[in-house]
Amino acid sequence: KSSSDSIHSNVLIVLHGLGDTAAPYIQFGTQLNLPQTDLIILQAPHKLPAGLDGYLWYDTFEKDGNCKFIRNRMNIYYIIFFI
């Protein structure tokens, strides 16, 4: 969303959390109505496993359902770097 005053001095990038979607943040970002600020609200690319609603940014779960912790911090750094 472009800034309402057509001045593009700032960018606010919003990443949703595990299991969420970008949808609720679109309205939130619009309600902020930040001057001179463009909003970029990103949707994670991977659907949650087992048919659950929501998305995740990177492979978070082992095949047995346990969470992966070791690599996750580096994955976040890569996501932010490539934005």
Q: In 3D, which of 67, 63, 43, 40 has the Cα closest to residue 55? A: 43
Report which DSSP code applies to 27: H
Q: Predicted confidence band at 28 (pLDDT cuts at 50, 70, 90)?
A: confident
Q: What is the per-residue pLDDT across 36-63, written as a single tens digit (0 to 9) for each?
A: 888 889 999 888 888 889 998 877 777 7
CA–CA distances in Å: residue 45 to residues 3, 7, 20:
26, 30, 11
CB 15 within 8 Å of CB 21 = no
Structure tokens given for 2:
């472009």
* Percentage, residues of the chain above pLDDT 90: 11
Position 79 scores a pLDDT of: 66
Mean pLDDT rounded to a whole number for the chain? 79
Taking the model in full, what pTM does it have? 0.65
